[in-house]
Amino acid sequence: MGLGEVHESGQMQNMRRISAWFVPAAAGLVCLVISLAGERGRVLLRYDREAIADGEAWRLLTGHFTHLGITHMLLNVAGLLLVWLLVGLRCSSRQWILIALMTIAGINSGFWFIDLQLKWYVGLSGLLHGLLVAGALAGMARVRTESLIILAAVGLKLVWEQLAGPLPGSEASAGGNVIVNAHLYGALAGAAAAAFIGHSARSTPAI
């Protein structure tokens, strides 16, 4: 009987590990499908200030999963996999979806109200920064040292980008200009999302 219970527990743990990859798998699939749509799809789905002002609100979401090309998309999806390897098990799929939506909203708000000169944007990198920061903060109580290292690395990168511009080679790899403010807005929004989720969890009464 004890053996049966251990086996069941192991199965449940494996199921949780597999389900934890639902969000990056779904996001990667969306990125791939949009990339296969080519230039026409990119123009239709990118964040475009004028088009959004004309009522094409879907771009506020799809722009973050649209890329300049296959290479740009593969780089960002690889970044998403790295983020998940580092912090993916620290939140549930439902929490990650909420974090992603809040991060996207934060980036869009920064673009719309601060970067008035930004005409269009594509890419997953701003969202990646938000997910990484949120995951690091979510794991602070359990793996404090690892979380602090992640936050310090992200912080140093953001400072570099704000003072000196994109990291060397990043624009050549992406095939276009890197909008460093997307990373900053994403990281700040991810931190806010982590705080919101943490507060919600503490406020939920025990049953």
Percent of residues, the chain, with pLDDT higher than 90:
82
CATH code (residue 100) = 1.20.1540.10
- Domain range for 193 is 2-203
For the chain, give me the number of helices (H) and strands (E)? Answer: 11, 2
Would you place residue 106 in the very low, low, confident or very high pLDDT band (cuts 50, 70, 90)?
Answer: very high
Across the chain, mean pLDDT equals: 91
pLDDT, tens digit, 9 for 90 and up, residues 82-92: 999 999 999 99
Would you place residue 1 in the very low, low, confident or very high pLDDT band (cuts 50, 70, 90)?
Answer: very low
Burial 159-180 (b: 16+ CB within 10 A, else e): eebeeeebeeeeeeebeeebbb
Query: 16: part of which helix (H) or strand (E)?
Result: helix 2-19
pLDDT, tens digit, 9 for 90 and up, residues 17-43: 777 899 999 999 999 999 999 999 999
Would you place residue 203 in the very low, low, confident or very high pLDDT band (cuts 50, 70, 90)?
Answer: low
Please name which of 135, 146, 154, 144 lies closest in space to residue 194, comparing C-alpha atoms: 135
What's the predicted TM-score (pTM) here?
0.91
Once rounded to an integer, what is the mean pLDDT over residues 119-138? 98
Residue 3 scores a pLDDT above 60: no
- Name the domain count of the chain: 1
